[in-house]
Structure 1
Amino acid sequence: MGVLFDRCADRGTATRVHLDRPFDLAPERGTDYTVPQLAVLVRDLAGRLTAAGAGRGDRVAIVKDNHWDYDLLACAAVRIGAVPAQLSAHLAPHVLAVLLDRLRPALLVTTTALLEHCRRAGHDPGALARTVMTLDGPAPGALGPDDVRGHDAPAPRSRHDDDPLVVHHTSGTTGVPKLVVHSTRTIIGKLARFETVRYPRIGLRRDDVLANASAFAHGRTFCWTASVLCLAPRALTILSRADPDTADPLLRARPPTVVEALPVAYVRLRPLTRRLDHAFRDVRLFISTYDAVHPPVLRAYLEASGHRAPLWMQGWGQTETGPLTFRFHTRRSTRRAARPSGDRAGARNLGRPVPVRTRLRVVDPDTLRPVPRGRPGLLLARTPACALTYPGEADRWAAKHVGRWWSTGDFGIRHRDGTVELLDREVDRTPQLSCLRTEDLLEDRLPQALEVVVLAVPGQPPLPVVVTEDGALEVEAWRRAVAGLPPLQPPTVLTWDLLPRTGTGKVRRGALLHRLTGRTETGGSGRWT
C-alpha cells in the first residue's frame, strides 16, 4: 500500500479523480487529480510524517473530517514503515481518548478544529501521543504544516505480510468501538485481491465512472482504494458528504455507472432519484456495505436507473472479517422484499457465504452447539481474512472465538437453500419479533418515514422510533402500518438530526434507548459485542 499510487502511475493508469471538496491536507490543490498527481501527494505526505518523527514500527493515528485523504495519509504512513490507525472524527472526545490510550501513537495527525473541540471537552488527545501534527494550520503544542512541509520522503520500507499493516475501529453502535489490526495478508491479500477480478456484470470495467460516498476512516475504503486503483476505471467521484445539493452537480457532470455508498448516504441522496434527468440514470451496479438498506430505498434507485437490468450488490461482514456474504437485488426482487416473516427475498436475507473463502455456522447462544437449518441462532464465521487482534483488549479478542470459529455477535437463520437471514444483533434481540425485519416492514408501509428503528426493551413491548422530515406522523397511518404485527409501544417520532449515529451512519441503539427511556439494559446477553 505504501507504493500503490507509484506503481499505478508507472503502469499508466489513466483514472481521473474528482472530489466534492479539496483534500483537508492539500486545500490549495483543488478538486481534480490524476493518479500520478496523487502519487506525488503521497510521497509528499511521507516526507511530512518523517519530519514529524514517525518511522518504522510506529503507530500513526489519523483523526480528521471525512474525506478520501484518510487513505492517502495511511498509504504515506505505510510507505515509511509505520502502522496507520484511522479513527473517525465522529467519535466523542472521551471515546477518542480511550482509543488513543489503547494505541499510544508516536504521532497524531489531526486538524486544529478537532484538537480544539476535544480540549474544550476536557480530553486533550495530544497528551496521548508523542507528537501532534495538524494539517490545516498552527495549534498550541502541535507541529503545523509549515513545520513539516518540503521534506523528502525516505525510500519505501517493506514489512512481512503477517505484520500489522493498518488499524481501524468498529462502528461502535453498542459502546466504545473496538480497535482492529489487519495485516497485508488479511486485508490486501485476502480481501482487496478478491475484488480485483473483473467478474461478469459486477466487476469494475475500464470505462466505468465510479462514485463513492463512504466513511473513509473505516476499513472498507482502505481495501477499496487498493482494488479500485488496480482496476483503473475511467473516473472516480468522491463524495465526502451525503448532501444532495452538493452531490447533484458533481454527479450530473459525470453520471456514474457504478455507485458505492453507505446505507445512510443512499437515504440522504434518495431525493435525487426523483429529479428530471437525474444523475443515476446510467448506473448498472449499486453497492452497499456496513448495514442492510431498507426496501423502499433499494426500489427507488433500481427503478430510477435507465439501465436495462441494474443490480444491487449488498455485502454483509465486519471490520474484523471483511465481507462474509453477498446478496444481489433486482427490480423484481425488491418489489417483494418487505413481506412479513419467512420471506427469503427480503432485504435482511444476506445471501450466501463468499465462495471458497468463508464458512458460516449457526449455533445456540447458550450451548454453542449447531442448530438445524431454519432455526435462529448465533452466527459464527471462519475466514482466512480474519484480523490479528484488538489492541489493548487481547482478552476480549480471545473471548470472541469459539474454537476455530469467530462469533459475529449477530443473530440469524441459515435457510435450507444456504442463504443467511439476519434477525438482530445478539445484544439487541427480543423474543417478540425481529427488530430488523419489523423495521423493513414498517418502512414499506410508511412512505413518509425516512427511517424506522425498533428498540428492544426488556420486560416491555419493543419501542418503535419513526424518523420523518418534520417529526410528525398521523395516528391513522401508524394504525394501518402496525396491523397484523406483534404488540409495539406507541411510536416516538423524531427528525433525522435527533438520532445518535456512528461515523458510518448506523443508529447507536443503546444511546437512543437511554435517551428515550433512561434505561441501558438490553434484551440480549451482550457477551459477543
Structure 2
Amino acid sequence: MTNTPANDGFGTITVAAILAESAARHPESVAIIVEDEETTYGQLWKETLSYAGALRARGIGPGDPVALLIPNVADFARAYYAVLALGGIVVPVHALLKAREIEYALRDSGAKLLICAAPLMTEGVPGAAGADVDVLTVMATDAADGTPRLEAEAAAAVPIRGYVPRRPQDTATILYTSGTTGKPKGALGTHFALMEQVNVLLSDTFDLRAGDKIFGGLPLFHTFGQTCVLNAGLRAGATIIMCPRFTGPAALDLVHKHEITVFFGVPTMYVALLEAAKANPGRPEALRYGISGGSSLPVAVLEKFREAFGAQIYEGYGLTETSPVASFNHVGVSPRPGTIGTPIWGVEIEIARPEIIDSIEFLPRGELGELVVRGHNLFKGYLNRPDATAEAVVDGWFRTGDLGIKDDDGYLRILDRTKDMIIRNGYNVYPREIEEILSQHPDVVSAAVFGVPHEMQGQEIAAAIVRTPNSTTTAEELISFAKDRLAAYKYPRIIELLPELPLGPSGKILKRELAATYKGNTSAAGADAE
C-alpha cells in the first residue's frame, strides 16, 4: 500500500518517535508495568527495534498494514511501535471480535500479517486463515501448535537501527468504527494528526508529567486508550500501569497499590470503581484527577467520584475520526459538569443544521444542532470508501452525528446521537437527559435509555437499570421517580432491571443490543398517551 503523496515538501514525522525520543531522555524510567513485570523506556525501545527486525525479515516495510490482536500488555506497545518504526500501518483489532469479524478487518485493511496474543488465538487464527494472512504470536508459553513466535524470530533477527521517516499525511493507523450501520469502516489516521493530537494534549489540555503513574485500563486497540494513554503517556515520560482485564476491584487495587496519579476511563469504568470503593473505602492520596470520554458522564457519577476519591473528573469529547479528542474541560480550569468543555487548541467545533446534508449551515449560539469539527486532528478518510468519506466530511467539516449546543462562553453540551434520539408522539426525547435524572436515584448504579416501537406513540421510552446490591427498589418506583422530575412526554414508561448492561469492547453501553433484545415483558407504569 503506497500512501506517500507527491510534492508535499520535505518535512518528515512519525508516531514511532514518541517511544524513540522518550527512551533517549528517560532510558532508566519505567514505561510500563503489567502485574509484577516492569519495562523501562530503554528496554521497551530496544525490544521494539528487535521486533521490527523480525517483521522486516518477513518483508514488512513502508506502507504495509499489520494487524494487532493484543490486550493491554507491553507486547502491544512493542508491536505497535515496531510496525510504525518500519513505516508500516498499524491495524488494531478489537480483542472481543469473533473469527468472522477478524477476517473482515484483515481483508478490508489489506493486512500483510496478524500479530496475535496467544490467549486470543482461538478466534485470531481462524480469522487470519479465512483472510489468507500469516500469524505471529506473542505471549505464548509454548509453540506446540506450530504458530511462529515473534519473540523467537526477534531474537534471531538483526534489529533495525532507527525508525523510517514518514510524510505528515502518510497513514499511521487504520481504526475500525463500531459499525452500528452496515459494515465497520476503516478510518485512516495520519502521522501528523496523531502527533499533533499528542502535542496539544500535553501542552494545552491535560496535565501529564514525567514520572506520573497513569491507569492503563482503556483498551489500547481503541483510539482513546491508544492516543491518550499509550502515546500521550509515553510522550510525557509517565509510567503506564496496565490493566489487561478491567474490573472495578482490580482497577481500585491498582490505584492504591501503584499510587496512580491520573485515572483514564469511560463512564462505565467510573461506575465500577465507585461500586468497588463501597467495599474498600479510603481515598487514594496520590490521585490528582480523572479523565473521562467515550460517552457522556452522568453528573451524579462525577459528584459521587469527587466525594469518594477527593478528585475531580475532567470530561472531554471525541471520535475515532478526530484522533480522538476534539473538546475538553481543560485540566487546570474548573470543569463545568454536564459539558464536554471547549475545543482543544487549533480545533474548531460549531453547531450546524442536521437536516442539511450537502453543505454546512451554522446555527446561532444556544440552538440545538449537529456538532461539526474542523482542525489538525481530522482523519484523512475511510479506507476504500470515497462515498462515505464525502458524506462525513462536508466543506472541510467532519459531521459527527451528535446533537448538541454551544453556549456564549464556547462550552459544548451533548444531548445525544442523532440515531439515539427518541421521537415519542411527535416530541423529540433525548436519552441523555433521562439518564441524568435516573442516575440521581441512590439505588441506581447505571442507566441506559432507549426507544422501542409502539403502536400509538411511534416510539416508547424504555430504560435498562442496574441497581445497587440488595436494593429492593422496584421498576414502578423508578418510573415514579422519573415522572416527578421530567415532563409527561419524557419519563420512561418501561423499566428493565438487569444485573449488568451490555458493553462493547471500549466500555460503551450497547443500546442497540438492549433495543434489539427488548421483548415487551418488563415492568411498566402504562404507556399512556401523555
Same fold (TM over 0.5): yes
Aligned 8 A contact 1:457 1:463 in 2: yes
Task: Tell me how far apart the structure 2 counterparts of residues 68 and 35 of structure 1 sit (CA, whole Å).
Answer: 11
| Partner in structure 1 of residue 511 of structure 2 | 509
Task: Tell me how far apart the structure 1 counterparts of residues 204 and 394 of structure 2 sit (CA, whole Å).
Answer: 35
Task: Tell me how far apart the structure 2 counterparts of residues 219 and 86 of structure 1 sit (CA, whole Å).
Answer: 9
1:158 equivalenced with 2:162 (yes/no): no
> How does 1:98-497 map onto structure 2 within 5 Å?
98-117=104-123, 124-135=127-138, 136=140, 137-138=142-143, 142-145=147-150, 148-150=153-155, 151-155=157-161, 156-172=163-179, 176-188=183-195, 190-197=196-203, 202-224=206-228, 225-233=230-238, 235-274=239-278, 278=282, 280-306=284-310, 310-321=311-322, 322-327=324-329, 346-347=337-338, 349-366=339-356, 369-431=361-423, 432-445=428-441, 447-458=442-453, 459-468=458-467, 473-474=473-474, 475-485=476-486, 486-496=490-500
Bigger shift: residues 34-43 or 370-379: 370-379
| Partner in structure 1 of residue 6 of structure 2 | none
Q: CA deviation at 1:287?
A: 0.9
Task: Tell me how far apart the structure 2 counterparts of residues 329 and 9 of structure 1 sit (CA, whole Å).
Answer: 27
Task: Tell me how far apart the structure 1 counterparts of residues 283 and 57 of structure 2 sit (CA, whole Å).
Answer: 43
Change (3 A) 1:169 1:297: same
Change (3 A) 1:403 1:18: closer
Aligned 8 A contact 1:110 1:134 in 2: yes
Bigger shift: residues 245-254 or 453-462: 245-254
Deviations 1:22-54 (A, max 9, x none): xxxxxxxx5212111211221222133234442
Change (3 A) 1:7 1:350: closer
Deviations 1:404-431 (A, max 9, x none): 2110011112223322221111111124
Matching residue's letter, 1:37: Q
Question: Alignment partner of 2:76: what SS?
Answer: helix
Length, aligned pairs only: 485
Matching residue's letter, 1:268: A
Q: CA deviation at 1:264?
A: 2.2
Q: CA deviation at 1:186?
A: 0.9
Aligned 8 A contact 2:370 2:404 in 1: yes
Task: Tell me how far apart the structure 2 counterparts of residues 78 and 329 of structure 1 sit (CA, whole Å).
Answer: 30
Deviations 1:356-387 (A, max 9, x none): 32232322424653333322222211112111
**Please, what TM-score do these two structures have when normalized by structure 1?**
0.83
1:82 equivalenced with 2:85 (yes/no): no
Q: CA deviation at 1:512?
A: 2.1
Aligned 8 A contact 1:115 1:125 in 2: no
**Please, what TM-score do these two structures have when normalized by structure 2?**
0.83
Change (3 A) 1:397 1:275: same
Q: CA deviation at 1:478?
A: 3.7
Q: CA deviation at 1:89?
A: 1.1
Question: Alignment partner of 2:460: what SS?
Answer: coil
The CA RMSD over aligned residues, in Å, is 2.9
Aligned 8 A contact 1:466 1:494 in 2: yes
Task: Tell me how far apart the structure 1 counterparts of residues 152 and 211 of structure 2 sit (CA, whole Å).
Answer: 42
Q: CA deviation at 1:117?
A: 3.2
Q: CA deviation at 1:391?
A: 1.4
Task: Tell me how far apart the structure 2 counterparts of residues 380 and 290 of structure 1 sit (CA, whole Å).
Answer: 17
Aligned 8 A contact 1:104 1:128 in 2: no
Deviations 1:453-488 (A, max 9, x none): 111235122111112356974133442233242242
| Partner in structure 2 of residue 337 of structure 1 | none
| Partner in structure 1 of residue 21 of structure 2 | 7
Question: Alignment partner of 1:456: what SS?
Answer: strand
Deviations 1:115-143 (A, max 9, x none): 32367xxx633231432212225476843
Identity across the alignment (%): 23
Deviations 1:154-212 (A, max 9, x none): 33322212111122223445564322111111111x2011123277xx52234533223
Aligned 8 A contact 2:283 2:308 in 1: no
Q: CA deviation at 1:266?
A: 1.7
Aligned 8 A contact 1:52 1:143 in 2: no
Aligned 8 A contact 1:374 1:416 in 2: yes
Bigger shift: residues 425-434 or 168-177: 168-177
Aligned 8 A contact 1:77 1:84 in 2: yes
Task: Tell me how far apart the structure 1 counterparts of residues 346 and 127 of structure 2 sit (CA, whole Å).
Answer: 46
Change (3 A) 1:378 1:198: closer
Matching residue's letter, 1:352: T
Change (3 A) 1:479 1:139: farther
Aligned 8 A contact 1:303 1:331 in 2: no
Where in structure 1 are there 5+ consecutive unaligned residues? 22-29, 334-344, 519-529
